[in-house]
Structure 1
Amino acid sequence: MLYRTQVTQIGEYAADALNDNMMILFNDNAPADVADYCFIHPAADLTGEITAGGQFVLGTSRYPITAVGDVVNQNLAQLGHITIRFDGGAEAEYPGTVHVEGKCPDELVLGTEIRFELNN
């Protein structure tokens, strides 16, 4: 387990990003104007490096990680802020983006667990 937290707040416009096959995460220190667009979670410790080949776990769904942007690990560790793209991209579109393979959820509920794991 590299990182584990849960959704504790859903910004007013956060679900709109799901329609674009992505979700934006930020820890509970998110600036108010940004928090409206994010799924908010308590800060957690990143205990290793997130890399392609690992797993993103959202609730009961598992997603293989296909690409990781250059600043994902730093941003997640310091701000809890990254974007997840559900497009299976082989190269990171932006430095703070993790690309995963699988269908984007239609909605998220409070308490949904978020995890990053090494591939076993």
Structure 2
Amino acid sequence: MNDSYYSSTILRVGDEAADLIQGGVLILFGEPLPRDLEGLSVVHRPADKPVLEMQPGDQVQLGAARLTLTAVGDLAHQNLATLGHLVIYVDPDPAAGLLPGAVHAKGQLDVPSPGAELRLARA
């Protein structure tokens, strides 16, 4: 994924984040983040702000996991750029709807290890 428009390094995985990820929900937050969200989040350190806006078809690499975005909420780019915050729902129920700050994706999601790279790229 050499053509990435966003990259970040995973710092730590909250105590409850692994259960959420296994259920298909990944909550990313850059530092600093609200203390009460730390346990639910995968905390990361962005290299820089995203240089492109996310769109369906973009690729997400998180460590060894690869995902393809299928839908992008209206506030997802702004939240990622300002807070390092992004919620990724993998293979969500089609009836669930898309939250403004979230993205939907297809693929296999694994619990990342500290030091893993997060990258977003055009397909």
Q: Say if 1:72 and 1:89 are closer, same or farther in 2 by CA, change over 3 A.
A: farther
Deviation at 1:92, TM superposition (A): 5.5
Which of the residues 36, 40, 46 maps onto 1:37? 40
Q: Is the 8 A contact 1:56 1:64 kept in 2?
A: yes
Q: Is the 8 A contact 1:56 1:116 kept in 2?
A: yes
Match of 2:103 in 1: 98
More strand by share: 2
Secondary structure at the aligned position of 2:107 is classed as coil
Give me the identity figure in percent: 33
| Correspondences of 1:22-101 after superposition (within 5 Å) | 22-43=25-46, 44-87=48-91, 93-101=98-106
Aligned partners of 2:93, 2:119: CA distance in 1, in Å?
A: 20
Structure 2 length normalisation: TM-score? 0.87
Q: Which runs of 5+ in 1 are unaligned?
A: none
Q: Is the 8 A contact 2:66 2:109 kept in 1?
A: no
Deviation at 1:99, TM superposition (A): 1.0
Deviates more, 1:61-70 or 1:21-30: 61-70
Aligned partners of 1:52, 1:7: CA distance in 2, in Å?
A: 23
Aligned partners of 1:35, 1:92: CA distance in 2, in Å?
A: 25
Q: Which runs of 5+ in 2 are unaligned?
A: none
Structure 1 length normalisation: TM-score? 0.89
Match of 1:16 in 2: 19
The letter of the residue matching 1:33 is D
Match of 2:116 in 1: 112
